[in-house]
Structure 1
């Protein structure tokens, strides 16, 4: 790149395209001697003859033809770089490609994305949802910029930052009697709905039942947390779900929340390639997601309080 003059390259392209030094000079609003000088300087810089005169036409040499092929790519890269810098100059923040699970996308991300949008109106964020393994693979292949996914996650090239512990709970119709301590054994005799197999949410629930000595066959498996809540509200059974899915639910009157015993949680982490170049928009998005760790304890304490109240209420009904 040192001493390589883009203006000289453009002059060369114009001379070849027009077949004339004079015509190129008119297009570039330069004198004909100035155009000739730029071509000589470019040839001297590259150490080759680029243009030969055949009659009245200026034609590229073999070396000139090869340079012409590179010139189009150089122009495209330079244009992209200038467009990118123009976005920064006008305050544009660029694009961020974020991958996460459906539950986090629905119940955790909206206020975060709303605040980012308020602070940075030109920031473009695209969100993809799927299983953790698919999201991590896309990050590794640079198809996504970062992810907010459930642990465990591994990869030497990945920077993994745990930010939030999300406690699992049982939700049940108000008329369903559950004990104060909702164990795997206590649920084994009840109709239980679970998230569909294949994702971390179902894996975590299955492992909890297995540790309790229960091989549970759910009465229904669904791919949507909202669908599961509707089924529970309709009285079709109880369900084990991530706490964030019910913490601020507007339809809490249709079901009761109970803590699990022993308690169960998943850890959400921000995942990004260690070698990822952080433009301002991506840097601000990573910062906003990592800030989840700062408010996590207060949220979990609030949920624990709600669950204790629900458990005492359930126990009171059982004693009546």
Structure 2
């Protein structure tokens, strides 16, 4: 059996509610022959009479009455779905999938999400912690809407990456160490180093920064989580290099923060699908750009 047609069900319900084919045609803005065609096709599809055509009023058969009860539920669900999609189209509701590294989610996104909730309470943001490479791949496949990524990124079809922010990289050292006012590559290379996992963009730019001074210091340990690196520094295990936005809230008093000499910057971008974006996605992008 072919699937039931909602327009035909709506015609059936309207005929019974208003008692005639003519009234239904007027209410549904259909030509009377179209109303008759809807009922004929529906009865043929189901193989059973649905209406009793009396002289003054049309009434449902037993099967017709049973169908109308179920049809009304389907039509209500259809109307609710249409209204929900209209809210999506207007940007008043929606689910936006966002990914970023843990420090960005922990220290940068909360204010943006708070502003978003105040302006657009119907928009839900689903957060995921992904590295930049995986996030770019998911944006390209349509599995993510927005990704905060380290720059630069290799171009990918159907993905646009806009510059977002540029944060300084700083040295974190145990506070009891004797230290200069600024940390140079040569000075840090003499210290035990706690470095980022070598698959990350931060590890890449840190390696390039040391290489510019003809240095390739080994890492005493490599960690995947910035909070782990900070804990190790606070415990006196060694020094690390992290981007400045990871230092909030107030850093451990056992840790001293030194600017780098020469300066090193960690640029970041926002990746999204190329072309027109849903209004809800645009609302989230607007708040992210304000960070």
Q: Shorter-chain TM-score category? A: 0.7 to 0.9
After superposition, where does 1:155-174 map in structure 2 within 5 Å?
Answer: 155-174=156-175
Number of the residue aligned with 2:206? 205
Distance 1:78 1:152, change over 3 A: farther
**Cα contact 1:92–1:122 (8 A) shared by 2:** yes
SS at match of 2:121: coil
CA 1:32–1:239 in structure 2 vs 1: closer, same or farther (change >3 Å)?
Answer: same
Distance 1:113 1:26 in 2: 45
Specify the SS of the correspondent of 1:202: helix
Deviating more after overlay: 114-123 vs 191-200: 114-123
Q: Give the structure 1 partner of residue 119 of structure 2.
A: 119
Give the CA deviation at 1:171: 0.7
Point out where structure 2 has 5 or more consecutive residues left out of the alignment: 25-31, 51-73
Q: Which has the higher strand share?
A: 2
Secondary structure in 2 matching 1:57: coil
In the TM superposition, residue 160 of structure 1 has moved relative to its aligned partner by: 2.1
Unmatched tracts of structure 1, length 5 or more: 1-5, 13-23, 60-73, 293-320
Q: Does 1:29 align with 2:17?
A: yes
Q: Tell me the equivalent position of 1:188.
A: 189
Partner of 1:237: 238
Report the equivalent of 1:57: 48
Partner residue of 1:135? 135
Offset of 1:145 from its aligned partner? 0.9
**TM-aligned CA deviation for residue 274 of structure 1:** 1.8
SS of equivalent to 1:230 = helix
Q: Distance in 1 between matches of 2:104 and 2:182?
A: 27
For 2:97 and 2:89, locate their aligned partners in 1 and report how far apart those are by CA, in whole Å: 18
Q: Work out whether 1:109 is the aligned partner of 2:100.
A: no
Q: Which moved more, 1:91-100 or 1:234-243?
A: 91-100
Distance 1:165 1:53 in 2: 64
- Number of equivalences: 255
Counterpart CA distance in 2 for 1:53 and 1:95 is 39
Shift of residue 268, structure 1, vs aligned partner? 1.2
Does the C-alpha gap of structure 1 residues 87 and 158 become closer, same or farther in structure 2, counting only changes over 3 Å? Answer: closer
Offset of 1:8 from its aligned partner?
A: 3.6
Shift of the 137–286 alpha-carbon distance from structure 1 to 2, 3 Å rule, reads same
Offset of residue 31 of structure 1: 4.3
Contact 1:95 1:125 in 2 (8 A): yes
Q: CA deviation at 1:287?
A: 1.0
Q: Deviations over 1:10-32 (max 9, x none)?
A: 258xxxxxxxxxxx569943547
1:224 and 1:53, CA in 2 relative to 1: closer, same or farther beyond 3 A?
A: closer
The 2-side partners of 1:77 and 1:140 are apart by 32
Shift of 1:263: 1.3
- RMSD across aligned positions (CA): 3.4
